[in-house]
Structure 1
């Protein structure tokens, strides 16, 4: 298997964009009509995921230490879609047909052999991971919604009771499916550390055009049911560190950081923790009341709320003293930088992509070692 030949081949095919995924799924469903019901009615998001996954796999085909964990997680994730061993050859046949079609005259016997070998490796790793996972975990958990609290027109906080214990670490996420949007799974982070009663809280923000969040925000009621996949994610607390902690959350990116905060609170001697909670407007600081009460009972915790799209009336950043506490004005990375130094802290960041990336870069410039910065964006979560 020639890794560079595979990369060059995919680079040529990928120039055709969405047409590649359209051809692939058309070929797959013509050959195997019974597979169509395993996919959502609207396939736009599914096609995007296919191209992203292929690009990721091919770019790392010569680095198995990085590729194998990705494929193993992919294999475990596919269990909730009902994918079994017999489906892999069917998918492989359509994939090779697609690559052959878009490669045109560049398709050779050697290239066909390379792609066959690569797909054989991919399917082997995914199947082995799925089989191992099936020994200890179900493909999904059924959950009943115990409570729904609408904090804003576009944000709800809901509590869910799984039908059996769903193991996870504070900071991780699970894929969620609702009955009215079958086969559309979206990732949401738990907003609490694991509890004895196994209930989980989620902070859900409405995403325009999203297939799942509009149902959860606008239509979900107590007693409704959802399905959840196994927990994933690496935005988890380093329990071996004795350092103080910096948490930076944008909008509902607060959820996994609030879970981490709850885990820290269970320590006999918690470190100093600064939690920055940012949004565009004061009205969007949907959990500020709860955070303020929490900080009032935890002497080691400092909560700093910040808004970016409202000014103090004087055209510069400043503190606003209000009934909600002290609210900072300014972009969240700037606010965090003003409160430094942070070079002695472990940093955890979650929220919109631009905010997360800018905050991470600012912290690195301020002397925080990059290995001490853990982050997750909303886009990362959905991938």
Structure 2
């Protein structure tokens, strides 16, 4: 619900604290906000705990909008503050990021009159934990939060005219591919428009108000069905429920589509797509999307796994490869490979280059994405042509 929780998605773009994304020196307010965040980072857990305790004391009715367990919510709070602070001088990027949050927070039941109390509690937490807090810092944060909240309120109001806050989705197919991976296909109660490469937040009936993020595993289909690849992970309440408990006929809820890992069809450059584990799901959607637009560009897919058994969707990719002459599929297995190449995925991507005339698309575990970005850059792709939806606490395809 809260205006400063992260997780509703934006492609990560990080800048140094000495300059803005346009190369200009940061504004005075931006410098003050960065200083405050630097000061409270060592005590982030205490600051966020204090913030939520104060919020629920002053506005107890808001507690029911949050999940019973607050650990992940606390992590997202500080992550969103960092993202907003990094973009405070970049109006376009900040507006895009916060508009996504504003639209996404409709599913929690957020109302415009919730924002003032959230802002008051935020200021109280910062005052308590930031040693340099004073009138100057308070003024900078009030101006920033006023702008942040208004962008989110306006985006939510605009979205309300066009779309519901969430969609009910009935599970029509539940296919176990491995002990820990299931392909879940759903039918929504209302039309659901999205683009290949995007993802959605998912809530199950077994864990109310706990939302996790999963990428669409196909491009938009004529029958309107949506598919997700779900991997049950340790302590993953939602993922384990979807893999081990969900059955046909169960109804889940979906938030609005999000994410920037989409194909620019005006470009003729090839695509280098790197997917690890269930991160291969949005990669499959991108391949289908290119095919739907005529398949006039090369697509190289690297499918990474720790063991052969984890290449759970390789056969369907190989079938696509047989039918699509512009598609190349390269499985990479870390241990005891009998299918594809044995080795580490980022290194395989680097060695198969150069990729100077291609764009990069990445989806999978955080460490894989970090190393694969480095591999693609060293193989000739400028970082601005590498797309993924990872921002510290969020990997769209991984989820929990």
- In structure 2, stretches of 5+ residues that fail to align are 1-27
Q: Deviations over 1:200-241 (max 9, x none)?
A: 110001121122101001101001011001111111111011
Distance 1:116 1:374, change over 3 A: closer
Distance 1:2 1:367, change over 3 A: closer
Shift of 1:358: 1.9
Query: Aligned to 1:227, which of 253, 264, 289?
Result: 253
8 Å CA contact 2:204, 2:253 repeated in 1: yes
**Map of 1:10 onto structure 2:** 37
* Counterpart-to-counterpart distance in 2, 1:356 and 1:42: 28
**Map of 2:343 onto structure 1:** 330
* Counterpart-to-counterpart distance in 2, 1:372 and 1:4: 29
Query: Aligned to 1:297, which of 294, 308, 323?
Result: 323
* Counterpart-to-counterpart distance in 1, 2:320 and 2:34: 51
**Map of 2:374 onto structure 1:** 361
* Counterpart-to-counterpart distance in 1, 2:115 and 2:389: 31
8 Å CA contact 2:269, 2:359 repeated in 1: yes
Shift of 1:269: 4.5
Query: Aligned to 1:210, which of 233, 236, 255?
Result: 236
Shift of 1:57: 1.9
* Counterpart-to-counterpart distance in 1, 2:81 and 2:185: 36
* Counterpart-to-counterpart distance in 2, 1:251 and 1:77: 26
* Counterpart-to-counterpart distance in 1, 2:246 and 2:364: 23
Query: Aligned to 2:125, which of 77, 80, 98?
Result: 98
Equivalence map 1:170-189=2 (5 Å): 170-189=196-215
**Map of 2:98 onto structure 1:** 71
8 Å CA contact 1:292, 1:303 repeated in 2: yes
* Counterpart-to-counterpart distance in 2, 1:291 and 1:328: 16
Shift of 1:116: 2.2
Distance 1:329 1:29, change over 3 A: same
* Counterpart-to-counterpart distance in 2, 1:368 and 1:114: 38
8 Å CA contact 1:246, 1:346 repeated in 2: yes
1:168 maps onto 2:194 in alignment: yes
* Counterpart-to-counterpart distance in 1, 2:139 and 2:261: 39
Query: Aligned to 2:83, which of 37, 49, 56?
Result: 56
* Counterpart-to-counterpart distance in 1, 2:303 and 2:33: 45
Shift of 1:52: 1.1
Shift of 1:366: 2.0
TM-score scaled by length of structure 2: 0.87
Distance 1:340 1:60, change over 3 A: closer
Compare 205-214 and 221-230 and name the one that shifted more: 205-214
Greater Rg, structure 1 or structure 2? 1
Q: Deviations over 1:289-322 (max 9, x none)?
A: 22222222223322211101226xxxxxxxx4xx
8 Å CA contact 1:243, 1:271 repeated in 2: yes
Shift of 1:246: 2.1
* Counterpart-to-counterpart distance in 2, 1:57 and 1:231: 21
Distance 1:44 1:346, change over 3 A: same
* Counterpart-to-counterpart distance in 2, 1:61 and 1:301: 41
1:285 maps onto 2:298 in alignment: no
**Map of 2:74 onto structure 1:** 47
Instruction: Report 1 or 2 for greater relative contact order, CA contacts < 8 Å, sequence distance ≥ 6.
Output: 2
Shift of 1:128: 0.8
RMSD after superposition: 2.0
* Counterpart-to-counterpart distance in 2, 1:19 and 1:40: 19
**Map of 2:110 onto structure 1:** 83
* Counterpart-to-counterpart distance in 2, 1:171 and 1:263: 9
TM-score scaled by length of structure 1: 0.91
